[in-house]
Amino acid sequence: MNAVVDRRRVLLATAGASALAGCSSSRSEGSPSSETGDRPGETASAEIAGISAMLQYVRPRDGRRPEILATEDRQYVVVTFGAPTSDASDVALRLDGTEYASSFTATADGRLDVGFEVPLNVAAESATVLVGGESHPVYRDVLDRLSNPPRLTSVSFDADAEVRPGTIATVDVRVRNEGGPGPFKGVFEVPGAPPKVFSERIDGDTLAGYTTHATIGSDVESGDRTAVFDTGFQRQTTTVTIVERSA
Protein backbone atom coordinates (compact mmCIF):
# COMPACT_ATOMS: atom_id res chain seq x y z
CA MET A 1 0.00 0.00 0.00
CA ASN A 2 1.24 3.50 -0.81
CA ALA A 3 2.19 5.83 1.98
CA VAL A 4 1.23 9.46 1.36
CA VAL A 5 2.78 12.52 2.96
CA ASP A 6 0.43 15.51 2.54
CA ARG A 7 2.50 18.65 1.91
CA ARG A 8 -0.01 21.40 1.46
CA ARG A 9 -3.52 19.98 1.23
CA VAL A 10 -5.02 16.57 0.75
CA LEU A 11 -5.59 15.96 -2.94
CA LEU A 12 -5.25 12.22 -2.75
CA ALA A 13 -8.00 9.64 -2.97
CA THR A 14 -7.97 6.10 -4.20
CA ALA A 15 -7.99 6.05 -8.01
CA GLY A 16 -10.15 3.66 -9.97
CA ALA A 17 -9.42 1.75 -13.14
CA SER A 18 -7.20 3.41 -15.72
CA ALA A 19 -8.81 5.02 -18.72
CA LEU A 20 -5.67 5.75 -20.70
CA ALA A 21 -2.24 4.19 -20.81
CA GLY A 22 0.89 5.76 -22.29
CA CYS A 23 4.63 6.15 -21.90
CA SER A 24 6.10 9.00 -19.92
CA SER A 25 8.10 11.80 -21.47
CA SER A 26 10.81 14.03 -20.03
CA ARG A 27 10.27 16.88 -22.52
CA SER A 28 9.23 19.24 -19.72
CA GLU A 29 12.58 19.15 -17.92
CA GLY A 30 12.79 22.91 -17.58
CA SER A 31 11.74 23.69 -21.14
CA PRO A 32 7.97 23.60 -21.72
CA SER A 33 6.62 23.41 -25.23
CA SER A 34 5.24 26.57 -26.78
CA GLU A 35 1.50 27.10 -26.91
CA THR A 36 1.82 30.17 -29.10
CA GLY A 37 2.82 28.78 -32.54
CA ASP A 38 2.92 30.91 -35.70
CA ARG A 39 -0.20 33.03 -36.12
CA PRO A 40 -1.09 35.72 -38.65
CA GLY A 41 -0.31 39.15 -37.27
CA GLU A 42 1.82 37.81 -34.42
CA THR A 43 3.93 40.67 -33.07
CA ALA A 44 6.11 38.87 -30.51
CA SER A 45 9.80 39.13 -31.35
CA ALA A 46 11.77 36.03 -32.28
CA GLU A 47 13.46 36.00 -28.87
CA ILE A 48 10.30 34.57 -27.26
CA ALA A 49 10.05 30.90 -28.21
CA GLY A 50 6.77 30.27 -26.39
CA ILE A 51 4.37 31.15 -23.60
CA SER A 52 2.77 28.36 -21.57
CA ALA A 53 0.33 27.93 -18.68
CA MET A 54 0.85 25.06 -16.22
CA LEU A 55 -0.17 23.88 -12.80
CA GLN A 56 3.26 22.43 -11.90
CA TYR A 57 6.77 23.15 -13.14
CA VAL A 58 9.78 20.82 -13.08
CA ARG A 59 13.01 22.79 -12.73
CA PRO A 60 16.22 20.92 -13.66
CA ARG A 61 19.23 21.05 -11.36
CA ASP A 62 22.63 19.90 -12.62
CA GLY A 63 23.62 16.61 -11.06
CA ARG A 64 20.79 16.72 -8.57
CA ARG A 65 17.15 15.71 -8.34
CA PRO A 66 14.89 18.04 -10.37
CA GLU A 67 12.82 20.45 -8.28
CA ILE A 68 9.02 20.37 -8.42
CA LEU A 69 7.36 23.77 -8.14
CA ALA A 70 3.68 23.66 -7.15
CA THR A 71 1.70 25.87 -4.78
CA GLU A 72 -1.82 25.56 -3.47
CA ASP A 73 -4.25 27.94 -5.22
CA ARG A 74 -1.58 29.13 -7.67
CA GLN A 75 -0.43 28.27 -11.19
CA TYR A 76 2.32 29.40 -13.54
CA VAL A 77 2.77 31.33 -16.74
CA VAL A 78 6.13 30.38 -18.24
CA VAL A 79 7.82 32.52 -20.91
CA THR A 80 10.47 30.60 -22.85
CA PHE A 81 13.29 32.44 -24.62
CA GLY A 82 15.21 30.79 -27.44
CA ALA A 83 18.54 31.53 -25.75
CA PRO A 84 19.45 32.21 -22.09
CA THR A 85 20.56 35.77 -22.83
CA SER A 86 17.62 37.77 -21.49
CA ASP A 87 17.66 39.26 -17.99
CA ALA A 88 14.70 37.89 -16.02
CA SER A 89 14.46 41.18 -14.12
CA ASP A 90 13.50 42.85 -17.43
CA VAL A 91 10.58 40.47 -17.97
CA ALA A 92 7.14 41.02 -16.42
CA LEU A 93 3.63 39.67 -16.92
CA ARG A 94 0.56 41.89 -16.99
CA LEU A 95 -2.56 39.77 -16.45
CA ASP A 96 -6.01 41.35 -16.31
CA GLY A 97 -4.45 44.68 -15.31
CA THR A 98 -2.19 43.25 -12.56
CA GLU A 99 1.55 43.17 -13.14
CA TYR A 100 3.61 40.22 -11.85
CA ALA A 101 7.37 39.95 -11.44
CA SER A 102 9.08 36.65 -12.17
CA SER A 103 9.03 34.01 -9.43
CA PHE A 104 11.61 31.61 -10.89
CA THR A 105 13.99 31.03 -13.78
CA ALA A 106 15.42 27.85 -15.30
CA THR A 107 17.81 27.06 -18.13
CA ALA A 108 17.82 23.85 -20.16
CA ASP A 109 18.45 22.76 -23.74
CA GLY A 110 19.87 26.17 -24.60
CA ARG A 111 16.71 27.99 -23.52
CA LEU A 112 15.69 30.22 -20.67
CA ASP A 113 12.35 29.86 -18.86
CA VAL A 114 11.01 32.76 -16.82
CA GLY A 115 8.06 31.74 -14.62
CA PHE A 116 5.30 33.83 -13.09
CA GLU A 117 3.15 32.55 -10.24
CA VAL A 118 -0.44 33.73 -10.69
CA PRO A 119 -3.76 32.98 -8.95
CA LEU A 120 -5.69 29.84 -9.79
CA ASN A 121 -8.89 30.24 -11.85
CA VAL A 122 -8.21 33.85 -12.83
CA ALA A 123 -10.62 35.48 -15.29
CA ALA A 124 -7.72 35.77 -17.78
CA GLU A 125 -9.42 38.15 -20.17
CA SER A 126 -6.14 39.66 -21.36
CA ALA A 127 -2.42 39.33 -20.76
CA THR A 128 0.83 40.79 -22.05
CA VAL A 129 4.45 39.84 -21.53
CA LEU A 130 6.66 42.88 -21.08
CA VAL A 131 10.31 42.51 -22.13
CA GLY A 132 12.19 45.74 -21.56
CA GLY A 133 10.22 48.33 -23.46
CA GLU A 134 8.42 45.83 -25.69
CA SER A 135 5.07 44.16 -25.08
CA HIS A 136 4.12 40.75 -26.48
CA PRO A 137 0.56 39.37 -26.50
CA VAL A 138 -0.49 36.23 -24.66
CA TYR A 139 -2.87 34.35 -26.90
CA ARG A 140 -6.28 32.92 -26.19
CA ASP A 141 -5.20 29.30 -25.78
CA VAL A 142 -2.95 30.23 -22.86
CA LEU A 143 -5.64 32.45 -21.30
CA ASP A 144 -8.20 29.64 -21.60
CA ARG A 145 -5.90 27.28 -19.75
CA LEU A 146 -5.37 29.84 -16.98
CA SER A 147 -9.12 30.24 -16.64
CA ASN A 148 -9.70 26.47 -16.45
CA PRO A 149 -6.52 24.73 -15.21
CA PRO A 150 -6.21 21.03 -14.41
CA ARG A 151 -7.68 19.98 -11.04
CA LEU A 152 -6.02 16.78 -9.85
CA THR A 153 -8.34 15.18 -7.31
CA SER A 154 -6.90 11.64 -7.21
CA VAL A 155 -3.36 10.45 -7.75
CA SER A 156 -2.03 6.96 -7.04
CA PHE A 157 1.43 5.49 -7.50
CA ASP A 158 2.74 1.93 -7.56
CA ALA A 159 5.90 0.09 -8.58
CA ASP A 160 7.06 -3.52 -8.88
CA ALA A 161 7.16 -5.04 -5.41
CA GLU A 162 10.41 -6.87 -6.15
CA VAL A 163 13.19 -6.07 -8.63
CA ARG A 164 16.68 -7.44 -9.21
CA PRO A 165 19.80 -5.32 -9.76
CA GLY A 166 20.43 -4.64 -13.44
CA THR A 167 16.79 -5.14 -14.42
CA ILE A 168 13.96 -2.76 -15.33
CA ALA A 169 11.29 -1.76 -12.81
CA THR A 170 7.77 -0.88 -13.96
CA VAL A 171 6.14 2.18 -12.40
CA ASP A 172 2.44 3.06 -12.70
CA VAL A 173 0.63 6.34 -12.05
CA ARG A 174 -3.10 7.05 -12.09
CA VAL A 175 -4.65 10.47 -11.88
CA ARG A 176 -8.15 11.94 -12.07
CA ASN A 177 -8.41 15.41 -13.57
CA GLU A 178 -11.69 17.18 -12.84
CA GLY A 179 -10.53 20.49 -14.36
CA GLY A 180 -9.41 21.59 -17.79
CA PRO A 181 -6.81 19.85 -19.96
CA GLY A 182 -3.15 20.41 -19.23
CA PRO A 183 0.17 18.86 -18.27
CA PHE A 184 0.59 16.64 -15.21
CA LYS A 185 4.16 16.49 -13.89
CA GLY A 186 6.23 14.75 -11.27
CA VAL A 187 9.56 13.14 -10.45
CA PHE A 188 10.13 9.43 -9.80
CA GLU A 189 12.86 8.25 -7.48
CA VAL A 190 13.20 4.47 -7.75
CA PRO A 191 15.93 2.78 -5.65
CA GLY A 192 19.12 2.26 -7.64
CA ALA A 193 17.99 4.38 -10.61
CA PRO A 194 18.53 8.08 -11.44
CA PRO A 195 15.57 10.42 -10.77
CA LYS A 196 13.20 10.49 -13.73
CA VAL A 197 10.94 13.34 -14.79
CA PHE A 198 7.34 12.43 -15.57
CA SER A 199 5.19 14.66 -17.79
CA GLU A 200 1.94 13.83 -19.56
CA ARG A 201 -0.91 15.88 -20.90
CA ILE A 202 -4.19 14.83 -19.33
CA ASP A 203 -7.59 15.71 -20.75
CA GLY A 204 -10.26 17.39 -18.69
CA ASP A 205 -12.81 15.26 -16.79
CA THR A 206 -10.63 12.17 -17.22
CA LEU A 207 -9.28 9.28 -15.17
CA ALA A 208 -5.98 8.33 -16.80
CA GLY A 209 -3.23 5.80 -16.21
CA TYR A 210 0.41 5.97 -17.29
CA THR A 211 3.27 3.47 -17.20
CA THR A 212 6.99 4.17 -17.26
CA HIS A 213 10.15 2.22 -16.49
CA ALA A 214 13.37 2.67 -14.54
CA THR A 215 16.61 0.73 -14.97
CA ILE A 216 17.99 -0.50 -11.64
CA GLY A 217 21.76 -0.29 -11.24
CA SER A 218 23.63 -3.58 -11.24
CA ASP A 219 25.47 -2.78 -8.00
CA VAL A 220 22.43 -1.96 -5.83
CA GLU A 221 22.41 -3.81 -2.51
CA SER A 222 19.47 -6.02 -1.65
CA GLY A 223 16.80 -5.08 0.87
CA ASP A 224 13.61 -3.05 1.23
CA ARG A 225 13.81 0.43 -0.29
CA THR A 226 11.42 3.33 -0.73
CA ALA A 227 10.29 4.50 -4.17
CA VAL A 228 8.96 8.07 -4.35
CA PHE A 229 6.67 9.95 -6.72
CA ASP A 230 6.68 13.70 -6.05
CA THR A 231 4.07 15.92 -7.75
CA GLY A 232 4.86 19.07 -5.79
CA PHE A 233 1.46 18.92 -4.10
CA GLN A 234 2.15 15.60 -2.44
CA ARG A 235 4.96 13.10 -2.03
CA GLN A 236 3.89 9.49 -2.35
CA THR A 237 5.93 6.43 -1.45
CA THR A 238 5.80 2.69 -1.93
CA THR A 239 8.14 -0.10 -0.86
CA VAL A 240 10.34 -1.83 -3.42
CA THR A 241 12.38 -4.87 -2.41
CA ILE A 242 15.73 -5.29 -4.13
CA VAL A 243 16.21 -9.05 -4.48
CA GLU A 244 19.68 -10.57 -4.61
CA ARG A 245 20.79 -11.61 -8.05
CA SER A 246 20.79 -15.29 -8.78
CA ALA A 247 24.17 -16.95 -8.64
CA distance 58 to 171: 19
How much is the average pLDDT of 218-229? 94
Give the pLDDT band (50/70/90) at residue 1.
very low
pLDDT digits (tens, 9 = 90+) for 66-111: 999 999 999 999 999 998 777 888 999 999 999 999 999 999 888 9
Q: What are the φ and ψ backbone dihedral angles of 192, each rounded to 5 degrees?
A: 85, 5
pLDDT digits (tens, 9 = 90+) for 33-74: 344 433 333 333 448 999 999 999 999 988 789 999 999 999
The number of helix segments (H) and strand segments (E) in the chain equals 1, 19
pTM of the model: 0.77
Strand residues in 24-125 grouped as ranges (E): 48-54, 57-61, 64-69, 74-81, 91-95, 98-101, 104-108, 111-119
Q: Which domains does the chain have, with CATH numbers?
A: 3-24+150-242 (2.60.40.10), 48-147 (2.60.40)
pLDDT digits (tens, 9 = 90+) for 157-172: 999 999 999 999 999 9
